[in-house]
Amino acid sequence: MSLLNFRRPAPAAAPQNGAVEALMQGFSLEVMPRTAEKVVDFRAILPEGTRVYIAHIEGTPIADMVATAARLRAAGMEPMPHFPARIIADRRELADWVARYQGEADVREALMLGGGVATPVGDYDNSMQLLETGLFDGFRRLHVAGHPEGNRDIAPDGGRQIILDALRWKQDFARAKGIDMAIVTQFAFEATPIIDWANGLRREGIDLPVHLGVAGPAKLQTLIKFAIACGVGPSLKVLQKRAKDVTKLLLPFEPTDLVAELAAHKVANPDFAVEALHFFPLGGIKANTDWTIAQGGAAARPATHA
């Protein structure tokens, strides 16, 4: 896809460095129907072909999800809706969702999740059960969840073996079906644990590419609130340390240092599992896209090629 339809906003600062700009290529963004409504024109803030995930929070009508996907498709973006297993009643409902997304929004990609609710509302408890239905066999690309700091919903004891086994199963599924697959992660705030986790995947024989979750620029209090709610682990201490400095308490927290450290590691280690960044715009979509453009994200390759 061409970037000719990308209408740049006011000039932003030059990218921090070439390594950061390279890592920014093919970045993605996450929205919800209610946050997407606040964006007048996605083409004014994102390169054409950008992959935009649509988070499906329990209680959100499927009509709103599909309408958001259709709007993104019409704007030249690549919509990737969430399919959270634990909020789907049964195969009939799942089939209806898939048919509506494909028929009304030409959805070709999906993020498969267990979902954050404690008790499933219906027949499904995990994303592997959704994949086994066969309803996603015709999708071009499927992403699955990764957790650099563990996931207490899956492994309450903090263990990682069950998570690794699930990723191996999904990797085998993708290979058998000929579907492109990647791991997209929860956000974290410290580079070293992320690097160790990604390297650990490779040692375990999991070679799916990683699209690393990054919290976009936001007030410190906002990030701490979301980090606790989303179960972010030890890297939360990065925010807590900053909160002790009253001179920084009211300043927006930006992921610049984290991204720069990861980009430098990628240059030194070209086989590093992280191939792209996925942004959670916790401080607002516009604040996030302004930051990505300033870091070189305006040159992002179309998500359909990622």
Is residue 4 in some structural domain?
no
Q: Among 78, 144, 67, which Cα is nearest to 108's?
A: 78
Is residue 195 in some structural domain?
yes
Is residue 11 in some structural domain?
no
- pLDDT, one tens digit for every residue, the chain (306 residues): 333 333 434 334 444 589 999 999 999 999 999 999 999 999 999 999 999 999 999 999 999 999 999 999 999 999 999 999 999 999 999 999 999 999 999 999 999 999 878 899 999 999 999 999 999 999 999 999 998 876 555 555 555 788 999 999 999 999 999 999 999 998 888 899 899 999 999 999 999 999 999 999 987 777 766 556 655 555 555 555 655 454 455 557 889 999 999 999 999 999 999 999 999 998 999 999 999 989 988 754 444 434
First-residue to last-residue Cα distance in the chain: 12
Which amino acid appears at position 75 of this protein?
A: A
Q: Among 29, 78, 4, which Cα is nearest to 297's?
A: 29
Q: Please, what's the b/e burial string for 165-195 (b: 16 or more CB within 10 A of its CB; e: otherwise)?
A: ebbeebbebbeeeebebbbbbbbbbbbeebb
Instruction: Dump pLDDT digits (tens) for 262-304.
Output: 999 999 999 999 999 999 998 999 999 999 989 988 754 444 4
User: pTM for this structure?
Assistant: 0.85
Q: Please, what's the b/e burial string for 69-107 (b: 16 or more CB within 10 A of its CB; e: otherwise)?
A: bbbbbebbbbbbbbbbbbbbeebebbeebbebbeeebeb
Is residue 13 in some structural domain?
no
Is residue 6 in some structural domain?
no
**Domains contained in the chain, number:** 1
- The CATH number given to whatever domain includes residue 295 is 3.20.20.220
Is residue 56 in some structural domain?
yes
Is residue 291 in some structural domain?
yes
Instruction: Dump pLDDT digits (tens) for 99-110.
Output: 999 999 999 999
Is residue 3 in some structural domain?
no
Query: Length of the chain, please?
Result: 306
Contact 72, 65 (CB under 8 A): no
Quote the domain boundaries for residue 234.
18-305
